[in-house]
Chains A and B, each alone.
Chain A
Amino acid sequence: MYKILRYSFYDLIRSKWCYIYFSFYLILSSVLLFLNNSLAKSIITLMNIIVILTPLIGSIFGAMYYYSSKEFAELLLAQPIKRNTVFLGQYIGLSLSLSASLVVGLAIPFIAYGMLISSEITNFISVIIIGVVLTFIFTAISYYIALSNEDKIKGIGLAILFWLLMAVIYDGFFLICLLALKEYPLENFSLFSVLLNPIDLSRILIILKLDIAALLGYTGAVFQGFFGKKIGMLIIASVLAFWIIIPIIMINIKSKKRDF
């Protein structure tokens, strides 16, 4: 699997999309630092952008990469290797190259601004880790969606729809539920609903880490009150890990059954 991963990574890291994605983060973080003129504030703004944007990019690239490398995957599948080696190798290669653009693009301006000698370094690292984790989650889900749909337009459409559901619609639906059921105790319901959305989970994790739970209002307060900071973060981290593992298992199962 390592061989496939390495070559997929080489292929992608040289593509123009990777450079565009990298330049975008480079410009974004430079502009944020320039406008906020403070590391702490820039990190909070950065978090708000990253929890929405990395899932979108992961969703689009996961599906697109699967379709564009389909014929090459067929050539690899005819070699003496297992099917899941090919797909996992490609998936990890893609996620790693997207993560590399993200990490390097964000780190350069922040390091230049003097982050390494400031107290904000751990907060910055947690924002970056969340960005990488979200990239792995949404790339896996969209890769799985592409693997399950022969039609390219349908596959990319569904992947973006899933992102829209998690990033936008879910919150609205969640709010409506809270309003409609406001007569009842909602702590457990809201805790459970948050676990089902990796974007919300990541946001809460960073907010807990940055000690600004009040910003999140109800859910953040419930989370902090219910679990306390450390256990809350641990639970979120393990649920996020499940969000990566489950789509990977699904990719494995699907790749065994499919015809190419």
Chain B
Amino acid sequence: MLSISNLNKSFGKLKVLQGININIFEGDICAILGPNGSGKTTLIKTILGLVIPDFGSIKLNDKEIINTWSYRSDISYLPQITNFPSNLTVVEIIDLIKTIRPNTKMDKELIDLFNIKKSMNKKLVDLSGGTKQKVNIILTFMSDSPIIILDEPTAGLDPISLIKLKTLIIKEKEKGKTIIVTSHIMSFIEEISNDIFFLLDGSIFFNGTITDLKERTNENSLESAIANLLKQSHV
């Protein structure tokens, strides 16, 4: 479904992505992991067309997508930090995204799920960090796109909302959607995803299932397996 080959990107002298090759199939839930600065966000932004790669190709359903834009109607994206325009209300921001994206029918259901009906007419600047993240999640999940990309979706969420988010992700998975997620919370990754791409200094250091990783590192938990992987990389 999504195939990335020989993707390279540098910012000045800093090589952020070096020869990335990834194949993601329909219905996969894959996690992109790696230490800070390993290139996770850049990789995601390249898929979304926010960062233009130096060379390499990204194909969605066998069509090259670099420097095009209409394919983005197939991708929902939850960014890491969102500072919304301060003087708009929650209703207005949802309306704006609804007018831009096709198939946005889920909004009412999600507003009920995350219990933000009371905040609908509040200005975005007056919302707490957690509520902002909930709005962000609603904006992402309200459209029915085959691919969902989540960059640190758990940031600022309380435990109840976190459980709701997990249920939401699992529901979308059951619908056969492809989900790409980055997070530093390993228990979250372990619960929702099956495939792992471990990035290190802009290259893929490990690619496989969570079970593969645990077997390779002889560890029981994903957290220690990742720590072990990092140790190996320094040897």
Q: Do A and B come from one complex?
A: yes
The interface of chain A, by Cβ under 8 A from chain B, is: 3-4, 7-8, 10-12, 14-15, 68-72, 74-83, 257, 259-260
| Closest beta carbon of chain A to B127's beta carbon, Å | 14
| Closest beta carbon of chain A to B39's beta carbon, Å | 13
| Contact A78 B82, beta carbon cutoff 8 Å | no
| Contact A15 B88, beta carbon cutoff 8 Å | no
List residues of chain A with CB within 8 A of the CB of B102. Answer: 80
How far does the alpha carbon of A259 sit from the alpha carbon of B50 in the complex, in Å? 6
Query: Which of B71-79, B158-166, B205-213, B218-226 lies on the face that meets chain A?
Result: B71-79
Known contacts A12-B87, A71-B83; is A260 also within 8 Å of B69 by CB?
Answer: no
List residues of chain B with CB within 8 A of the CB of A74. Answer: 50, 79
| Contact A80 B100, beta carbon cutoff 8 Å | yes
Can you name the residue of chain A whose Cβ is closest to the Cβ of B16?
A: A259
List residues of chain A with CB within 8 A of the CB of B50. Answer: 74, 77-78, 259-260
Interface code B96-131, partner A: CB below 8 Å = 1, 0 otherwise?
Answer: 110111100000000000000000000000000000
Prevailing SS type, chain A contact patch: helix
| Contact A78 B87, beta carbon cutoff 8 Å | no
| Closest beta carbon of chain B to A151's beta carbon, Å | 14
Can you name the residue of chain B whose Cβ is closest to the Cβ of A258?
A: B52
Interface code B51-71, partner A: CB below 8 Å = 1, 0 otherwise?
Answer: 110000000000000000111
Cβ 8 A contact of A80, one of B72, B82, B83, B139: B72
| Closest beta carbon of chain B to A190's beta carbon, Å | 43
List residues of chain A with CB within 8 A of the CB of B73. Answer: 80
| Closest beta carbon of chain B to A100's beta carbon, Å | 14
| Contact A11 B101, beta carbon cutoff 8 Å | no
How far does the alpha carbon of A3 sit from the alpha carbon of B83 in the complex, in Å? 19
